[in-house]
């Protein structure tokens, strides 16, 4: 059984002069792939099919990206986004522009290879997957709050830009590190002594950071809980900044742990750094 997926792509700053078809091999018989249990080698195909229809957007070119995986639809869906990410990264690495693929929705087709599989599929080989997010009302702009902050506080504009950059960053690792830099800048002022002080010690003893952290909870967190929080965010920073695959240390951009170990703290890092910038009394 094979499964074919169709995604829609757009290019910015470059174009495909012709349609392309490639075959890729992952893994070998001696080392498991860690994609699906028992799978040691995978040969899949992908095609780039241009859409010559004129588009009125700012993109250079649009079209379809087809991925054909030699697995049933259920198994193929478990790994299709990892393969898609691999293809997108390779195309971007080899071009000056940007290659983007939408995953908001995609089409799929089961391709039987035996009579038994044809009978199993019947007359329903196609499927469509849509990834919907419930829409909520956007918050309105609070002009009074804006005027109050601009006129009555002297916030560090460099850190405001840094916070905006973090908020707009797409990848969780980039987003997390950008927020952490704000904490580092405001809270990691070292003493004049030559004694070596770790980042965990500096942040654990920072009064402003502790105040903001504890006030976010009702009832307030204990000192031990705050110290544990500091230890966690510093450890995550280290893993985001450094990669030692031989030792299993650090995150790669497709790491499954990103969702469970980084993304769960993103919103709180956003809140804490926002409050730090507002309450910080540095002279700028």
Mean of pLDDT values over 1-9: 95
**Range of lowest pLDDT (180-194, 237-251, 257-271):** 180-194
Q: What is the pLDDT of residues 34-82, one digit of tens each?
A: 666 667 788 899 999 999 777 667 788 999 999 999 999 999 998 898 8
pLDDT over 80 at 117, yes or no:
yes
Answer yes or no: is pLDDT of 141 > 70: no
Q: What angle do CA 166, 171, 174 make, to 5 degrees?
A: 50
- Res 96: pLDDT: 76
Inform me whether the pLDDT recorded for 254 exceeds 60. Answer: yes
Instruction: Tell me if 32 sits within 8 A of 44, measured CB to CB.
Output: no
- Tokens representing 242 are 């450094």
Summarize the confidence of residues 138-151 as an average pLDDT: 58
The mean pLDDT value for 128-156 works out to 63
Q: HSE on the CB side for 43, CA within 13 Å?
A: 3
DSSP 247: G
pLDDT above 90 coverage of the chain, percent = 49
Residue 176 has pLDDT above 50, yes or no: yes
Taking residues 97-114, what's their average pLDDT?
A: 91
Range 250-255 average pLDDT: 90
């Amino acid at each position: 059984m094979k499964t074919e997926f169709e995604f829609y792509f757009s290019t910015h700053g470059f174009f495909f002069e012709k349609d392309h078809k490639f075959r890729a091999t992952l893994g070998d018989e001696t080392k498991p792939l860690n994609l699906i249990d028992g799978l040691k080698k995978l040969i899949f195909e992908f095609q780039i099919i241009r859409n010559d229809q004129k588009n009125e957007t700012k993109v250079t070119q649009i079209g379809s990206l087809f991925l054909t995986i030699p697995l049933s639809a259920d198994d193929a869906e478990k790994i299709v986004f990892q393969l898609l990410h691999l293809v997108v990264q390779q195309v971007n690495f080899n071009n000056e522009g940007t290659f983007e693929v939408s995953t908001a929705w995609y089409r799929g087709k089961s391709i039987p290879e035996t009579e038994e599989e044809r009978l199993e599929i019947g007359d329903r080989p196609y499927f469509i997957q849509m990834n919907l997010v419930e829409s909520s009302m956007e918050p309105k702009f609070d002009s009074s709050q804006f005027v109050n902050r601009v006129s009555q506080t002297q916030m560090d504009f460099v850190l405001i830009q840094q916070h905006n950059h973090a908020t707009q960053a797409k990848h969780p690792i980039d987003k997390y590190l950008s927020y952490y830099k704000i904490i580092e800048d405001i809270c990691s002022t070292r003493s004049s002594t030559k004694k070596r002080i770790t980042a965990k010690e500096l942040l654990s003893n920072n009064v402003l950071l502790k105040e903001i952290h504890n006030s976010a909870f009702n009832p307030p967190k204990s000192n031990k809980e705050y110290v544990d929080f500091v230890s966690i965010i510093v450890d995550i920073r280290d893993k985001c900044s450094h990669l030692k695959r031989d030792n299993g240390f650090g995150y790669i951009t497709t790491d499954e742990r990103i969702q469970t170990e980084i993304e769960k703290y993103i919103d709180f890092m956003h809140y804490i750094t926002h409050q730090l910038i507002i309450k910080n009394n540095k002279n700028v």
